[in-house]
Structure 1
Amino acid sequence: MSWLGERIAPARLGRDFRWLMTASWSSNLGDGIMLAAGPLLIASMTSSPVLVASGAMLQFLPWLLFGLHAGAIADRFNRRRLVIGANAVRVVLILALVVFLFTGTANIWIVLAAAFLYGCAEVFADTTSGTLLPMFVRKEDLGIANSRLQAGFLVANQFGGPPLGAFLFAIGSFWPFLLQALCVALAAILVSRIAHTPIPPRENTAPTSVHTDIAEGVRWLWRNPPVRMLVIIILVFNVTWAAPWGVLVLYATEHLGMGEVGYGALTTASAIGGLLATGMFGWLERHVSFATLMRVCLALEVVMHLAFALTTSGVIALVIMFGFGLYSFIWGAISTTVRQRLVPHELQGRIGAVNMVGVFGGMVIGQGIGGVLAQTWGLTAPWWFAFVGAAITLVFVWRPISQIAAARPAEETAQSDGDSSDGDSSDGDD
């Protein structure tokens, strides 16, 4: 067992990382349960593609409204306490929904409102959680640490959670959400065991407003071309990705005829691919450049959209999702690692928030587009939109990817420039 523990979470990553990892896994299991149960609940109340897509869109909309503020707050206060508090609010909201479902008083508008409020709390929980890892893991270990968090996401959020959520929903609509509340509560308890997360250091100790802090983060991002381009890539590819994903439950159940359990199996298939990538990641990080891996992942994304647009077979869809899980795991681990290495500790919250605004802002836009396309031209129309949009984007970002992967942290660049200047001065004196 000690060998297995060392294999999963090497001792050099520290005890705090293990608490964070298990908390992340528990929270992801709860979110994975809702990943299937949430759309199924909405689909049981309406057959409108627009309303089905709105369920996910309203959960992600808070990122556009509060994402940047959450990042600034994460850079101001004790991050561990923020995560615990935000998760506590999530638990209360889920339990309130459980009461409505158990008493039979829930309707589509109550469910949509719950999705929005839950998303508001999730903004602060996820933004702050993303800043914890760089605080106690060395830059050279961020790749393996992020791969472990991604592995938990795949196992719990994609592999275990969705089929469990679909199964529990078939028994009773409130059961999956009750279990989700327990998972999120456990995550809050585990985060409380992290020993020390001080308030991030700030160069300017004078009091500033939240909006001033946000502006500082945005300026830093705008002046850092590699991180700026990475955020743009993530934004655009999430627009194209989310267009079909917003109506995936209808695509799976109606177009492919896979049923409710089959819909849950799609995300399970992607998790299996991700688990394979977990075992491969260490070798890939040592032998293949990040630039090559990033290009391959984005190219496979384009191919996946085309394959989904063409297939009418549930079996083939499962195979495609397996491949999606494999390359999306690699992309997620690499893009997160690159960003965390390049961003100073005192800006992790704000830059991470801008990134997440790009992620979920893209999803809100994409799901809105996907719902309209599906209702107007059918359930495969969003896949064609995703294929064309992702292919065009890949052409434009192909070359800048090299600059992103090769970039160095600002403090290392400054140190290198300082050493070079010292050397030049010495030569001049001679």
Structure 2
Amino acid sequence: MRALVSARLGADFTRLWTASAVSNLGDGVTMAAGPLLVASVTDDPVPIAGAVFAQQLPWLLFALISGAYVDRLDRRLLVVTVNLIRAAALAVLTATIATETVTVAVIYAVLFLLGTGETLADTAMGALLPSVVDPEKLPSANARLYATFTVANQFVAKPLGAWLFVISAAAPFGLDALTFAAAAALIAGIRPAPPAPQSPPQSPPRDSSWALSGASSDASSDASLRGEIVEGVRWLGRHRLVRTLAVSMGMANVAFCAAFAVFVLYCRQRLGLSDVGYGFLLTAFAVGGLFGTAVAARLARAFGGAAVLRAGLAIEVVTHLTLAVTTTPGVAAAVLIVFSVHSMVWGVTVASVRQRVVPAHLRGRVGSVYALLDLGGAALGSLLGGLLASVWEITTPFWVAAGAMTVITVCAWRPLREATA
């Protein structure tokens, strides 16, 4: 399989792809074992929930700053350095667990550092890919990366992390440290890319709906960090297609996370499922996602990006409506499989579009703005979903999500036609 990928996408992509697989395995192991570790130190639900927030907080604090540094620095060396730092942090955590000196504060500090590194490494990896793979092969490359994430992080890592924690509490985190070190070695083997030009060949397309003023984006090399961040935000704001994709995804995440924040209660109260049934639905969701990565590039080639993205928005509306009215687990499973296929196809298509149209010297900053809207929408939606379900019915978040996605679909329909071009 690796030889086949090398022949099609090149040896450098094989290194990047393998590094992604290895680090995703380690990430998933830590995600499974982390809550178990906190629960072994304290039985207070507040610090247990806070551990998840500690790793998410850096995206809200540093996403835009990290994007600016990704565009300032050598992206390959940045990923290598960040991975080595994360490996060292996990090694320290492993040592404190092994010596029984671990505390909640130590766990929080390591998780926060891991999350901070993620804002840099993930943004840099997305910006690095177009220098490794030819533009016409980006959909296939992104599909393989998404498939790797689904298999390594969702299917393999979660049970492995729990199993290793039972054997030895330190083992999952020691393994994750090794995966980051291995990923750093693999990325270091990628050939250095030539420096990105500091001025785009042409200005991003303007449209009358977004009037902006201010300094030109040409003067970027000597600009302050704040100015560089503003340049990335301004570029995204002036490009109608990328702006539409970013805003649509941010709002869609508000709708999705508002509905699925209470999904475990929905499964029990609405569908009458046990915990095993709930696990089955999550597995079905993951299976659909894996299939989506296999067909994403083919669908984009066959129907064009615009048709694929428009169909995805329609699928989101139908998904929320179906879950709002059904009480049948089989129907819920079927619609979730279709939804997860769409989510992977959407992700692969959008990543490929962004990597093609965003100038090389702005990919980090534009990607970080996109990530901020993405995760900000998810966080807001999670809070909103719990509130709606507690005040009204368990299905209320799904009705609200269906209405919101209908509005988003109507507003985004016309601008998305540019995705095929």
TM-score by length of 2: 0.81
1:289-342 per-residue CA deviation (whole Å, 9 max, x = no partner) reads 211211222222233344555667776665454333311111111010111111
* 1:220 pairs with 2:235: yes
* C-alpha distance in structure 2 between counterparts of 1:378 and 1:53, whole Å: 24
Aligned residues of 1:217 and 1:351 also touching (Cα < 8 A): yes
Do the aligned partners of residues 348 and 397 (structure 1) sit closer, same or farther apart at CA in structure 2, a change above 3 Å counting? same
- 1:218-297 alignment runs, 5 A limit: 218-246=233-261, 258-259=274-275, 266-297=281-312
Q: What stretches of structure 2 of length at least 5 have no aligned partner?
A: 200-218
* C-alpha distance in structure 1 between counterparts of 2:222 and 2:144, whole Å: 37
* 1:327 pairs with 2:323: no
* 1:16 pairs with 2:31: no
* C-alpha distance in structure 2 between counterparts of 1:41 and 1:384, whole Å: 37
Aligned residues of 2:6 and 2:13 also touching (Cα < 8 A): no
Aligned residues of 1:52 and 1:247 also touching (Cα < 8 A): no
Q: What is the one-letter code of the residue matched to 1:72? A: A
- 1:26-425 alignment runs, 5 A limit: 26-38=22-34, 54-99=50-95, 101-102=97-98, 111-169=107-165, 173-203=169-199, 204=219, 206-246=221-261, 258-259=274-275, 266-308=281-323, 318-373=333-388, 382-403=397-418, 405-407=419-421
Aligned residues of 2:68 and 2:364 also touching (Cα < 8 A): yes
Aligned residues of 2:143 and 2:294 also touching (Cα < 8 A): no
* C-alpha distance in structure 1 between counterparts of 2:364 and 2:342, whole Å: 26
* C-alpha distance in structure 2 between counterparts of 1:172 and 1:388, whole Å: 48
What displacement does 1:37 show?
3.8
Deviates more, 1:330-339 or 1:319-328: 319-328
Q: What is the one-letter code of the residue matched to 2:175? A: L
1:174-212 per-residue CA deviation (whole Å, 9 max, x = no partner) reads 443333333222212211111213443313585332212
Q: What stretches of structure 1 of length at least 5 have no aligned partner?
A: 408-430
What displacement does 1:104 show?
5.6
Equivalent pairs counted in the alignment come to 400
Deviates more, 1:219-228 or 1:157-166: 157-166
Q: Percent identity?
A: 43
1:346-373 per-residue CA deviation (whole Å, 9 max, x = no partner) reads 1111111111111122222223334545
Aligned residues of 2:25 and 2:152 also touching (Cα < 8 A): yes
What displacement does 1:22 show?
0.8
Do the aligned partners of residues 316 and 102 (structure 1) sit closer, same or farther apart at CA in structure 2, a change above 3 Å counting? farther
* C-alpha distance in structure 2 between counterparts of 1:334 and 1:374, whole Å: 33
What displacement does 1:58 show?
3.7
* C-alpha distance in structure 1 between counterparts of 2:326 and 2:120, whole Å: 39
Do the aligned partners of residues 382 and 85 (structure 1) sit closer, same or farther apart at CA in structure 2, a change above 3 Å counting? farther
Aligned residues of 2:198 and 2:221 also touching (Cα < 8 A): no
Aligned residue number for residue 208 of structure 2: none
Q: What is the one-letter code of the residue matched to 1:336? A: A
Aligned residues of 1:166 and 1:264 also touching (Cα < 8 A): no
Q: What is the one-letter code of the residue matched to 1:85? A: T
Do the aligned partners of residues 395 and 55 (structure 1) sit closer, same or farther apart at CA in structure 2, a change above 3 Å counting? farther
Deviates more, 1:135-144 or 1:109-118: 109-118
* C-alpha distance in structure 2 between counterparts of 1:262 and 1:42, whole Å: 26
Secondary structure of the corresponding residue to residue 142 of structure 1 = helix
Q: What is the one-letter code of the residue matched to 1:61? A: L
Q: What is the one-letter code of the residue matched to 1:140? A: E
* C-alpha distance in structure 2 between counterparts of 1:197 and 1:66, whole Å: 25
Q: What is the one-letter code of the residue matched to 1:215? A: V
* C-alpha distance in structure 2 between counterparts of 1:258 and 1:178, whole Å: 34
1:79-135 per-residue CA deviation (whole Å, 9 max, x = no partner) reads 111101112222233344444555566566654554333211110111111111111
What displacement does 1:280 show?
2.4
* C-alpha distance in structure 2 between counterparts of 1:42 and 1:401, whole Å: 44
Secondary structure of the corresponding residue to residue 202 of structure 1 = coil
